[in-house]
């Protein structure tokens, strides 16, 4: 789910998942049990996906400085609408989902990763930090700026909900 959420292409997601599993298999001897196997494998999958996006030249539009720690981030805030659509709303919701996916695709790989992990996978800040091998403050900063960017890109969607 995380890989697809970042690349938005089923075939690419399958290819990257396969690459990630092969990389994990080849480096299983390096797994020391300092984190859970899930976290170790998730980190590999995330890095394989980010590396692929970088190789394709997908850097996102201008981003904010991750080193700035936001003081007003609501930890439980959600970025994307999560309500299940009613039957008569399906067409409209499909368009909104497409718009959200398009907006996420405009984020840098690092910001896209934290949005997918937090908003789609519902991982905790500590889990995301461990997977990305960064501080919780960096995760919070990236989420803050990714959400801010998404709010700008999706302003009309939010205003019409």
Over residues 9-13, the mean pLDDT reads: 88
Q: Where are the domains of the chain?
A: 2-159
Higher-confidence residue: 87 or 12?
12
pLDDT for residue 9 is more than 70: yes
Rounded CA-CA distance 146/140 in Å is: 10
- What pLDDT shows up at residue 78? 54
pLDDT of residue 62: 43
pTM of the model: 0.57
> What's the whole-number mean pLDDT along residues 17-42?
87
Q: pLDDT over 70 for what percent of the chain? A: 76
Q: Whole-angstrom Cα distance, residue 59 to residue 107?
A: 7
88-116 pLDDT, tens per residue? 567 777 787 888 888 998 999 999 999 99
> What pLDDT, on the 0 to 100 scale, is given for residue 68?
45
The helix or strand, by DSSP H or E, that contains position 22, with its residue range, turns out to be: helix 10-26
Assigned CATH class of 2-159? mainly alpha
DSSP 62-111: ----TTS--S---TT--SS--PPPPGGGHHHHHHHHHHHHHHHHTS-HHH
Q: Which two tokens stand for residue 50?
A: 């980010």
């Amino acid at each position: 789910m995380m890989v697809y959420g970042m690349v938005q292409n089923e075939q690419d997601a399958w290819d990257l998942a396969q690459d990630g599993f092969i990389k994990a298999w080849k480096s299983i001897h390096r797994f020391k049990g300092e984190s859970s196997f899930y976290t170790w494998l998730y980190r590999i999958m995330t890095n394989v996906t980010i590396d692929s996006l970088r190789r394709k030249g997908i850097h996102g539009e201008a981003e904010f400085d991750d080193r700035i720690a936001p003081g007003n981030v609501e930890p439980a805030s959600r970025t994307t609408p999560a309500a299940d659509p009613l039957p008569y709303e399906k067409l409209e919701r499909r368009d909104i989902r497409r718009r959200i996916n398009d907006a996420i695709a405009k984020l840098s790989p690092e910001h896209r990763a934290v949005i997918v992990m937090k908003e789609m996978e519902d991982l905790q800040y500590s889990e995301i930090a461990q997977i990305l091998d960064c501080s919780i403050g960096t995760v919070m900063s990236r989420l803050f700026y990714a959400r801010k960017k998404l709010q700008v890109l999706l302003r009309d969607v939010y205003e019409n909900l």
